[in-house]
A = this chain, B = another copy of it.
């Protein structure tokens, strides 16, 4: 997988998930597409507030929207989840290598 290195894109991705309502929306959408009102309802937030949160998620690359007739439907875009997972995974690999080196060092003493 291509590792995303564009700093501003990564900023937008991590920022988008730093909010409990946006995480709840992404959680809901990961179980199937939904409209703004279907997303706002269970969270007890007003539609304009939901629209703003969805814009942040869209800006972060996590969701895409499509308008059919008068209803706009949102769906998860998996690439951003993959990119974020890849970023974290790379740091875990580095951390693990660091522990391995320490282990070799201590056993060599």
Contacts and interface: CB of A to CB of B under 8 A. Distances in A.
Interface residues of A, number: 33
A103 interface: no
Interface string A1-27: 000000110111111011110010011
Contacts of A78: 92, 95
| Chain A binding surface, main DSSP class | helix
Contacts of A104: none
A85 interface: yes
Given A10-B17, A11-B18, A85-B89, 11 more contacts: A7-B20, A14-B14, A14-B18, A15-B15, A23-B87, A27-B91, A27-B94, A31-B97, A76-B91, A82-B92, A85-B88
